[in-house]
């Protein structure tokens, strides 16, 4: 979009252009002086010819209509809406109070690094604005909250500006909307489908706060299961990190239901649960886990029959071997009985019967014994590795080592560079108990999986251990990335 005005131009005989403030997808905003009142205003202009999009015009007119209804000290006051006809174009204008200060985006670009307290205060102020917007009838959605659209005065007071993507919930839910508006990284997933709910603005605010804490746009941070994986990149309290994670949940239903709820939780007035909260360590865990800034060491002692999985496999093996013994004893008992008591043991008919038994029945029995033998050996190996094995995982800044012992014999010793590890996760063993898959912990290297461990631990303990390992790996990746940057 080409510049519509230069400094000194007079618009509608009333507004004298001072400078250009910014340019968005559907308009250009200028700082201007209202010659009628002598005050400075923000004059947003849109050219119908350059836009050539009636959807954009609809958004522009909707912005003007909704701004007339708003009255909040953190939202620049509406002044005027008018049109100017030119020989080959029609220009549309919205005049608002000029918000003094600099955008959060500009402050970040100039090296500003706010701490947790400052970011907390920013969250409180913007949430107050969102509470006001959501209490209107119908509620109003901004849909484009980002650092560029939050202006900070020198005294710390904030303004929420640029309502170009604004929408009321009546228009969204009753009339429908297929217009996708917003800024990538700060847009909630539902916005890509042209939808918006009360939690949509919460996502934008959460993503903005994460940008303030990390100095990086959300699109430049890693994602895990569609979530912004920001925790390894920030140094904040656990409660604030949990609150932020709730704000940027990819599913709208998992976020706070409203700005009022989010504000109450942030102020500590109401308890909340983090939908993706890291699992807690089971109280009866025997795993020794030591984590420092540069090293993780996990030692898993033999669990014996201390878990439900190990007792299940022990019972399965016992039943299997008792069944084999019983079948073998039955066959031997029959032959032994016939040798001692069968009257016609030496007769031709009995010899023929015994011969048929040996020729036709034994081979089928042998196949059964072989199949069961292979299965039982596999189960026995799994049981020994899960219940009797001792494991030690050591991850340092540069390398890792995974060792496993069986009755003092070290049968596995895998090692490598830390950069080779892609992730830690649970891997299914292809077995289930009551339709619940049995898993094992493993670290995935770039080209191969490392040995599995902890297969017979309680599932909650495995989930906790893998989460701790993955969290440590993410922090190491963040440290490595910051050093290379």
What digits encode the pLDDT tens for the residues 374-405? 566 666 666 666 678 899 999 987 888 999 89
144 is catalytic: yes
Burial of 24 (0-12, 13-18, 19+ CB in 10 A): middle
Q: Is the pLDDT of residue 232 over 70?
A: yes
Question: pLDDT tens digit string along 63-116?
Answer: 889 999 999 999 999 999 999 998 888 899 999 999 999 999 999 999 999 999
Q: Are 325 and 394 part of one and the same domain?
A: yes
In a domain, 350, yes or no: yes
pLDDT of residue 336: 54
Highest mean pLDDT among 235-249, 328-342, 350-364, 421-435: 235-249
Clarify whether residues 181 and 72 are in a common domain.
Answer: no
Of 34, 144, 162, 168, which one is the catalytic site residue? 144
Does 371 lie in the same domain as 314? Answer: yes
Percent of the chain with pLDDT over 70: 74
Indicate whether 325 pLDDT > 50: yes
Say whether pLDDT at 368 is over 60.
no
Residue 173 located in a structural domain: yes
Reported confidence tier of residue 351, pLDDT bands at 50, 70, 90: low
Which CATH number belongs to the domain containing residue 111 in this structure?
1.10.510.10
The answer on 415 and 374 residing in a single domain is: yes
List the alpha helices (DSSP H) in 304-407: 308-341, 348-356, 362-383
Answer yes or no: is 123 within a domain: yes
Identify whether the C-beta of residue 94 lies closer than 8 Å to the C-beta of residue 44. Answer: yes
Q: Look at the chain and report how many structural domains it folds into.
A: 3
Query: Are both 238 and 137 inside the same structural domain?
Result: yes
Do 59 and 138 sit in the same domain of this protein? no
pLDDT of the residue at 273: 66
Residue 271 is assigned to a structural domain of this protein: no
**Same domain, yes or no: 318 and 424:** yes
Residues 341 and 309 in one domain: yes
Question: What CATH number should be reported for the domain holding residue 33?
Answer: 3.30.200.20
Q: What is the pTM of this model?
A: 0.62
Average pLDDT over the chain reads: 81
Shared domain check, 435 and 293: yes
Look at residue 409 and tell me whether its pLDDT is greater than 50: yes
Please check whether residues 63 and 197 belong to one and the same domain.
no
Where does a domain end: 97, 127, 146?
A: 97
The alpha carbon of residue 355 and the mean position of all alpha carbons in its chain are separated, in whole angstroms, by 69
Q: What are the tens digits of pLDDT across the range 269-288?
A: 877 766 666 678 888 888 99
Q: Which domain holds residue 72?
A: 10-97
Domain boundary among 46, 70, 97: 97
Say if 382 falls within a structural domain.
Answer: yes
Confidence of residue 450 (pLDDT cuts 50, 70, 90): low
User: Does the pLDDT value for residue 317 go beyond 70?
Assistant: no
β-bridge mates for residue 415, sequence order: 401
45, 69, 97: which is the final residue of a domain?
97
Q: What is the DSSP secondary-structure string of 48-61? A: HHHH--HHHHHHHH
- Determine, yes or no, domain membership for 239: yes
Per the domain annotation, does 279 fall within a domain? no
Residue 341 CB-density burial (10 A; 0-12 exposed, 13-18 middle, 19+ buried): exposed
- Cβ atoms within 10 A of the Cβ of 318, count? 10
pLDDT at 61 over 90: no
Q: Is residue 281 part of a domain?
A: no
pLDDT band for position 120 (50/70/90)? very high
The predicted pLDDT at position 255 comes to 92
For residues 337 and 375, membership in a common domain is answered with yes
- In terms of domains, do 290 and 248 share one? no
Query: Quick one: pLDDT at residue 399?
Result: 87
Least confident residue range of 19-23, 55-59, 141-145, 195-199? 55-59
- Residues of the chain with pLDDT > 90, as a percent, come to 37
């Amino acid at each position: 979009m080409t510049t519509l005005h230069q400094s000194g131009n007079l618009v509608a005989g009333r507004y004298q252009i001072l400078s250009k403030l910014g340019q968005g997808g559907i308009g250009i905003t200028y700082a201007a002086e209202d010659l009628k009142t002598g005050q400075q205003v923000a004059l947003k202009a849109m050219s119908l010819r350059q836009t050539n999009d009636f959807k954009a015009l609809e958004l522009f007119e909707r912005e003007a209509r909704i701004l007339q209804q708003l009255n909040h000290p953190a939202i620049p006051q509406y002044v005027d809406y008018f049109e100017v006809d030119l020989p080959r174009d029609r220009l549309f204008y919205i005049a608002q109070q000029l918000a003094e200060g600099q955008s959060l985006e500009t402050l970040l670009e100039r090296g500003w690094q706010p701490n947790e307290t400052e970011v907390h205060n920013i969250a409180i102020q913007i949430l107050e604005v969102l509470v006001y917007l959501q209490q209107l009838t119908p509620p109003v959605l901004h849909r484009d909250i980002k650092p560029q659209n939050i202006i900070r005065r020198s005294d710390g007071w904030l303004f929420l500006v640029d309502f170009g993507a604004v929408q009321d919930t009546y228009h969204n839910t009753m009339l429908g909307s297929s217009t996708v508006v917003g800024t990538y990284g700060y847009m909630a997933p539902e916005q890509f489908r042209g939808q918006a709910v009360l939690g949509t603005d919460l996502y934008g605010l959460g993503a903005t706060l994460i940008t303030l804490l990390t100095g990086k746009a959300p699109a430049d941070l890693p994602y895990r299961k569609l979530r912004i994986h920001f925790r390894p990149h920030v140094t904040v309290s656990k409660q604030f990190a949990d609150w932020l994670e709730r704000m940027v949940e990819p599913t709208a239903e998992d976020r706070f239901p409203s700005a009022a709820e989010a504000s109450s939780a942030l102020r500590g007035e109401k308890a909340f649960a983090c939908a993706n909260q890291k699992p807690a360590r089971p109280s009866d865990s025997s795993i020794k886990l030591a984590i420092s800034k540069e090293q993780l060491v996990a030692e898993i002692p033999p669990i014996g029959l201390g878990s439900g999985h190990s007792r299940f496999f022990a019972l399965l093996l016992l039943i299997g071997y008792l069944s084999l013994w019983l079948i073998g004893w039955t066959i031997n008992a029959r032959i032994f009985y016939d040798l001692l008591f069968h009257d016609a043991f030496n007769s031709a008919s009995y010899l023929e019967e015994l011969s048929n038994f040996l020729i036709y029945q034994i081979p089928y029995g042998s196949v059964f014994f072989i199949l069961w033998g292979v299965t039982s050996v596999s189960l026995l190996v799994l049981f020994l590795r899960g219940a009797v094995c001792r494991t030690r995982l050591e991850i340092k800044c540069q390398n890792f080592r995974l060792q496993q012992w069986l009755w003092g014999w070290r049968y596995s010793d895998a090692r490598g560079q830390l950069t080779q590890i892609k992730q830690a996760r649970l891997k299914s063993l292809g077995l289930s108990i009551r339709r619940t898959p049995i898993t094992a912990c493993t670290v995935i290297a770039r080209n191969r999986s490392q040995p599995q461990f902890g297969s017979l631990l309680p599932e909650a303990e495995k989930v906790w251990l893998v989460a701790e390992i993955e969290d440590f790996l993410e922090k190491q990746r963040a440290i490595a990335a910051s050093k290379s940057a």
